[in-house]
Amino acid sequence: MRVTIVGGGLAGSEAAWQAASRGVPVVLHEMRPVRPTAVHKTDRLAELVCSNSFRGDKLDNAVGLLKEEMRRLGSLVMRAAEASRVPAGAALAVDRELFASIVTREVGDHPLITIVRDEITAIPESSESQPVIVATGPLTSDALSADIARLVGGAHLYFYDAISPIVLAETIDRRKVFRASRWGRSLRSSPGALALQACGVDDGEGDYLNCPLTREEYDCFYDALVSAESATVHDFDKEKFFEGCLPIEVMAHRGRDTLRFGPMKPVGLIDPRTGREPYAAVQLRQDNLAGDHFSLVGFQTQIKWGEQARVLRLIPGLEQAEFVRFGMVHRNTYVNGPTVLAETWQVRARPSLFFAGQMSGVEGYVESAASGLLAGLNAAALASGGRVSAPPRTTAIGALAYYVSHANPAHYEPSNITFGILQPLAGAPRGKKHRNEALSTRALADLESWMADREGARPALVEGRTRT
Ligand SMILES: Cc1cc2nc3c(=O)[nH]c(=O)nc-3n(C[C@H](O)[C@H](O)[C@H](O)COP(=O)(O)OP(=O)(O)OC[C@H]3O[C@@H](n4cnc5c(N)ncnc54)[C@H](O)[C@@H]3O)c2cc1C
């Protein structure tokens, strides 16, 4: 009895923890640092390659629900995120170094987990008692990608995403920006209270720095953006960008106001100097615990680095900004989930093989870890003669599994979790917030029933250590 996992990212680390916590020995293969990727910078497990945000953390928000379900299922990723949390309004953002260190230490110290640092170039042999989970992420190495393509045929796809720049905090002009969370939704301020303090004072209210733009400033920025030179010449109509992660210049090409309704939307942000919402705004989010790095929220871009500096310095407050990291384009490798996978994250044609994480056709850190969690649970069940299953579609984690395995394969796109993919609620209350809260209440109750049902069908949980 053993589970072999390929890839020690968010999905692979979570899967390893879940399987080992059920008493099943795990061998985890991670190719870094022996073979680096184009984006990872360290040899740590669960390294966050871009944003430090796990997104919304409230139950009126689908990713907040998914996180709560993961906590209830004993997620290591969620525990490490909590222990490395940095201020981010109503979102859960982390100190990326601390986060990855905690995951690396917990997985490395687990007596049932062996970490092997090597590149796996072909999908390992698998059987019911020795299942395999492939969780090699969007940057799966070429040799393994080729073998996966052989297994899944023409359904093996790839496309491009783009990532946001990070600036050095001390180079932001604090006289021009103001500190506030949208609608005043700070974890540290009272709900509903607008953060109106002058910026430059770390008053604990409002977790974002906001760069307000007047109409003239916005027009000037827009014109520079649409005429800036891209690092790679992409045909915006033909390239398959993930809609939730579009480069700003791609959005800008869709219309002069598109950004003002997207990453530059000013709604809910009151500039304390005018008492009004600005014409447009750029939000900067703290990116590390030290507070010396801020990322430009939603500002993924593929503009050439020199050009990026020139264009982004047109944003008020960023005139002298120094860039710790520029935005860039990256590859994303994933399988066509509905063609290849079952709800349990097993390959339909080979049930002793699982795909998990971004590679399985989900999108995002939380979704990747969630799929690893379920794949780890099911691989452990299979190895130990138990029953594999997926939570019901009324839960966020079950809905994600259902989406990946049942969406239309002809138009398949990786998805973030949304309430729209949960099973609808009969007699839902009026109003989005109430409806979402009711969906969350039902989801958590149904998850508890599923867990109780599963309890009877699996070996007892081996207590994981909670040292963080
Ligand atoms: C540049 C970039 C930016 C992104 N930005 C964001 C973001 O801001 N927010 C967000 O939510 N998501 C983002 N994503 C998506 C993000 O990668 C996933 O959400 C998440 O990291 C996926 O987790 P994973 O475990 O599937 O893959 P990863 O975390 O990438 O882990 C896969 C692991 O497998 C290893 N590996 C690969 N091939 C092999 C092999 N052949 N043998 C052994 N090991 C191997 C890799 O070294 C890596 O450690 C981004 C992705 C990229 C590439």
**pLDDT band at residue 242 using 50, 70 and 90 as cut-offs:** low
Pocket lining: 289 vs ligand 1, CB cutoff 6 Å: no
Q: State which H helix or E strand residue 314 sits in.
A: none
pLDDT at 189: 38
Cα(120) to ligand 1 centroid in Å equals: 16
> For residues 184 and 161, what is the distance between their CA atoms, to the nearest angstrom?
30
pLDDT at 266: 96
The atom of ligand 1 lying closest to the CA of 332 is 53
State if pTM tops 0.85: no
Q: What is the length of the chain? A: 468
> For residues 121 and 143, what is the distance between their CA atoms, to the nearest angstrom?
5
Pocket lining: 396 vs ligand 1, CB cutoff 6 Å: no
Higher pLDDT, 413 or 374: 374
> For residues 344 and 454, what is the distance between their CA atoms, to the nearest angstrom?
14
Pocket lining: 383 vs ligand 1, CB cutoff 6 Å: no
- Write the DSSP assignment of 241-307 as a string of letters: B-GGG--HHHHHTT-TTGGGGTTT--TT--BTTTTB--SEEEEEEE-STTS-EEEETT----B-HHH
Instruction: Say which range, 11-15, 19-23, 390-394, 429-433, has the weakest mean pLDDT.
Output: 429-433
Q: Can you tell me the mean pLDDT for 397-410?
A: 90
Cα(358) to ligand 1 centroid in Å equals: 7
pLDDT at 198: 26
Q: pLDDT per residue over 138-197, tens digit each?
A: 999 989 998 998 898 865 555 565 678 989 999 999 999 999 988 876 544 333 322 222
Cβ(20)–Cβ(384) under 8 Å?
no
Pocket lining: 330 vs ligand 1, CB cutoff 6 Å: yes
427, exposed or middle or buried, with CB in 10 Å at 0-12, 13-18, 19+? exposed
pLDDT of residue 456 exceeding 50, the answer is yes
Cα(462) to ligand 1 centroid in Å equals: 28
Pocket lining: 163 vs ligand 1, CB cutoff 6 Å: yes
**pLDDT band at residue 282 using 50, 70 and 90 as cut-offs:** very high
Q: pLDDT per residue over 328-375, tens digit each?
A: 776 778 898 999 999 999 999 999 999 999 999 898 999 999 999 999
**pLDDT band at residue 235 using 50, 70 and 90 as cut-offs:** very low
Place of tokens 């170039």: 121
Which three-class secondary structure state does DSSP give residue 335? strand
